[in-house]
Amino acid sequence: MAFGVCSNEWGGPDTVNKKPDARKIIIDGLWRNNPVFKQVLGICSTLAVTNLVLNTVVMCVALIFTLSLSAATVSLLRKFTPRNIRMMIETLIIGFYVIIVDLVLKAYWPEMSTNLGPYVGLIITNCIVMGRCEAYGNTNPPGPAFLDGFFNALGYSFILLIIATIRELLGMGTVLGYPMPYFSGPYWDKWIIMVAPPGAFFMLGVVTWIFRSIEIRREHNTK
């Protein structure tokens, strides 16, 4: 059962072979085991789509959809899937949901589809999705797997939204395209670098720093 040990890599040992507890899943996904600032997964899309809040919102919705349903589907099939080809099956399932999202966007929201460019398709390779399917979906019933996927995606989303809001505000003086007082005025010299790729690295670094500091202090206090 060497594979069983492998699957602990992302989720930590506590996610396997234990009775699922909804409260714990939620807190883990949103905070204690947050995909972005704790596990540092899915960074590519964090950097790529966070320069406009609207793009980020759509990206997050797409990820929530993909991740929760993929995890649930992987979990449904877990009793039948042979261990040695499970990752191929997982990729297949993830790809399936991502293509659905991509097609829906292309058909009903073509402007957004062009805005996001290749990043919707790249959800397939988003490590969070594969990571949760491997670490949780593979070994737990569909209900908790869905919940785990959903809240991990939500944990990813709220970090992305924080980053996106700050980047769009400082870089363009707007939030969701609406001009903000002061920042869109003549006194604010727009920080173009914030909406360019380097801005994402700065923001991600700062956000990870702040959230980890809070987490460390909290852990320290509870000891």
Partner 1 sequence: MRDKWWFPVVYMFVMTSFFSSIVIGFSQVTGARVEANEHLAFEKAVLSVLPGLFNEGTSRSELHRRFVERVSSPDKKTGDAYTLKDSGQTIAYALPISGQGFWAPIKGVIGIKADLRTITGIAFYEQNETPGLGAQITKNTFRSQFQDKVISSAGKSLNMKRPSDMLGTSDVHAVTGATQTSARLERIINDALKKWLSEFAQTNGEGRTQ
| Residues making contact with partner 1 (CB under 8 A) | 51-52, 55, 77, 80-82, 84-85, 88-89, 92-93, 95-96, 99-100, 103-104, 106-108, 110, 114-115, 117, 168, 171-172, 192, 195-196
- Distance CA(214)–CA(210), nearest Å, equals 6
CB of 23 or CB of 107, closer to partner 1: 107
CB of 12 or CB of 95, closer to partner 1: 95
CB of 39 or CB of 46, closer to partner 1: 46
Contacts of 70 (CB under 8 A, 6+ apart): 90, 93, 94, 97, 129, 133, 137, 149
- Distance CA(221)–CA(166), nearest Å, equals 30
Q: How far is the CB of 82 from partner 1 (least distance, A)?
A: 4
Q: How far is the CB of 112 from partner 1 (least distance, A)?
A: 11
Q: Evaluate the CA torsion angle 171, 176, 179, 182 in order and state its sign.
A: negative
CB of 114 or CB of 213, closer to partner 1: 114
